[in-house]
Amino acid sequence: MTQPRLPFHDGHSIPQFGFGLWQVPEEGAPGAVAAAAAAGYRLFDGAAIYGNEAGMGQGLRDSGVPRDDLFVTTKVWNTAQGFDSTLRAAEASLERLGLDHVDLLLIHWPCPRKALFVETWRALIRLRDEGRVTSIGVSNFNAAQIDRLTEETGVTPVLNQVEINPRNPQPDLQARMTARGIVTQSWTPLGNGLSFDAAPVRAAAARTGLTPAGVILRWHVQRGLSVIPRSTDPGRIAANVAVLDGPDLTGAEMAAITALGTGERCGPHPDDFE
C-alpha cells in the first residue's frame, strides 16, 4: 500500500490517511489502534476530550511500530484555553499518551466568545519551540481567525481540521487554506453515512467496485485532503485504508459528489460552539 504524505509549510509532513479516535471507548482504544497500525495506518488522531488518550498510547505501544514511523495528533480542549492552562493541558495529554512529544497539537475549537485562542496559540508555539510538539495547527477555524493568529504571532498553523463530507464539502474553505499553505483535514468524512444512498455515490460505487464509504473516502483523497475515518471493526478499518490503492474517481464523479453539498453539518457550527 502506498501511503502518501502531505507537506507542511514548517518542513514536516503528515500521512494523508489516518485513524480517528473520536467516540472510541477507552477500553477499546488499544485494540482499535493496534488493528489500524497492522492495516497500514501511521496517522492517529486523538484529543483530550475523547477520554481515551491512555488507551490510544497503549495501542501505539502494542502495535510494535517504531515511534519514528508514527504520526500522533492530539488537541487542547475548550476549557483549557489560555496560555498557562494550555501548557498544563498539553503536559497532561503527553502523560496520558505515554509520549515525550506529539507530532501535531491542535486547538480543538476557536471558541470565539472566550477570545482566548491567540493566547492558546502562543502556548502551542512555546511547546513547539521546547520540542514537546513537532508541528502546531488548529481545528474548526475560519480563514479570518487563522489570519489573526498569523498577524499577532507571526506563526501560521500547518493544518486546519474541519468537518468535510459530501453534504458539507467546504471547497471554498479548502481553497482559502491552500492559499495560505495550510493542509485541510476532514473530520466526520463519511458524514454519518447520510450520503451512502445518493445517486452519484451509488453510480461511482457500481463503476469502481468500491463501497459507498470507499467512494467517499476516495473523494477526500483525490481532493488532496487529509482524512481520518473511524471504526472499531478490524475489517472496516482495513477496508477504509485500502482505498489508497483503489481506482480513481472520474472528474465528473468527483464533481457530482461535491454537488451534493447542502451545508448541512453533522457537528456544531464553529461560530457558535464554546
pLDDT digits (tens, 9 = 90+) for 186-245: 999 999 999 999 999 999 999 999 999 999 999 999 999 999 999 999 999 999 999 999
Give a yes or no: residue 204 inside a domain: no
Give a yes or no: residue 241 inside a domain: no
Give a yes or no: residue 185 inside a domain: yes
- Hey, which residues are catalytic here? 50
Cβ-in-10-Å burial (0-12, 13-18, 19+) of 206 comes to: exposed
How sure is the predictor about 123, in pLDDT bands with cuts at 50, 70 and 90? very high
Strand residues in 21-176 grouped as ranges (E): 43-45, 71-76, 102-107, 133-139, 159-163
Give a yes or no: residue 92 inside a domain: yes
pLDDT in tens, 73-84: 999 999 999 999
Whole-angstrom distance, CA of residue 244 vs CA of residue 71: 18
Cell of 90: 498539553
| Residue linked to cell 504524505 | 5
Q: Look up the domain containing 140 and give its range.
A: 13-193+225-230
How sure is the predictor about 3, in pLDDT bands with cuts at 50, 70 and 90? confident
Give a yes or no: residue 180 inside a domain: yes
Give a yes or no: residue 120 inside a domain: yes
- Global pTM reads 0.98
Give a yes or no: residue 200 inside a domain: no
Give how many domains the chain has, as a whole number: 1
3-state DSSP assignment of residue 90: helix
3-state DSSP assignment of residue 15: strand
CATH number, position 36: 3.20.20.100
Is residue 266 within 8 Å of residue 192, measured between CB atoms? yes
Give a yes or no: residue 216 inside a domain: no
